[in-house]
Structure 1
Amino acid sequence: MLEHYKTIYEGGEGELVEKKSRFIATVRPVETEEEALAFIEEMKKKYWDARHNCYVYSVGMNREATRCSDDGEPSGTAGRPMLDVLLGAGIYNAAIVVTRYFGGVLLGTGGLVRAYSGAVQAGLAASTVIEKHHGISLQVTTDYTGIGKIQYIAGERSLPILDSEYTDKVVLKLLVPDDQVEEVKKAITEGTNGRAGLEKDAELYFAKVNGEVKTFEK
């Protein structure tokens, strides 16, 4: 399990032109190798008239499925440079297809490497990249006299309240990063004189997306 990792929240499309050849990079988040392969086929159908549709994908927290293809370009001039950019950016669970419309001018080995690398960088720049962090949903059960203190602790540490339930007692679910769990438990226990019940509700990942905290299963 990774404590934190970068991934694509929303894919994008970047383009560059090198000596009249067009390089179009399409980026998409993927959770499985099957999704990656389906996306590659989708791009090949969309850009059926292009000279090349080179690709790279990396799936899994240990990069279990990581592949790249030159799709007819000279060996090592497209897929591997694309993979180097993806790995260098530290991004997981993503697939990228770079489509080339040949402009009639040969670019040479160095020119192709720069063009495919640059296209991937442009595609990533046009995408929404987020960093997910691992944490837990901490369920806090308290009486009404303890709610103010718990809300203060949550606010002081910028811990989002994922859910709340008010009946004869109060049940709050706090989003707590892994590295703050013990500290938060201690603060709540001391702040409520041990009257609050604490229970791990679920493990999850969370990330800030456009300034808003969102949670994910993985």
Structure 2
Amino acid sequence: MESVVVSQSTVGPDTAAPKDATLIYRQSRWTRLTHWLWAISLFFMLLSGLQIFNARPQLYIGKESGFAYNNTIFAIGAENTANGPRGYTEIFGKRFDTTGVLGWSGPAGRETSRAFPSWATIPSYYDLGTARVVHFFFAWILTTTLVVWLVASLINGHLRRDLAPRIDDLRRLPRDITDHARLKFHHRREYNTLQKIAYGGVMFVLLPLMIITGLAMSPSMNAV
């Protein structure tokens, strides 16, 4: 981490920092760069992923799926009613009216049947091919920068020094949970136990799982 001296008084380039200056620790430039790339990639992956989901807005449970099976656990769609077309979201057989947001949305007089509205997808119009191109482009950016960050963090000791929970961290876990529940935060240079667990869970569980499951959509991977 880098340290930055901040003070309310003006400090010139040739002036030493005052004794009452506040010392603020922040991440290195490389860490900030990779994290911003991840944030941008996840943004485009989310919106293009919603467009891909619009192609068939249903989730199933079991090894088989299709029109001949009745194992849908989540679905977004539209239906004709006495009051006109209505959008709905169905979860485990329970149907909710979501007209205007999910299932049936659009400008007044030009509504269309689509799972997620145009303002929440990339591209805004229905184009599965473009959505897949955008999705996989940013997925590879995410994957590449994640691997580079992991290798660099192993080399410079960032993982061992800042992220790996220690015995003392686990002992402080109940207190950290209590302090966070009471909105009592301790701002220190090192990560607290909950931060380490959350960081590790995202970096080494959720992101790799998202990448591996996402590769199932790639014809070059699932054709093997």
The structure with more strand, counted as a fraction of residues = 1
TM-score (norm 1): 0.22
TM-score (norm 2): 0.21
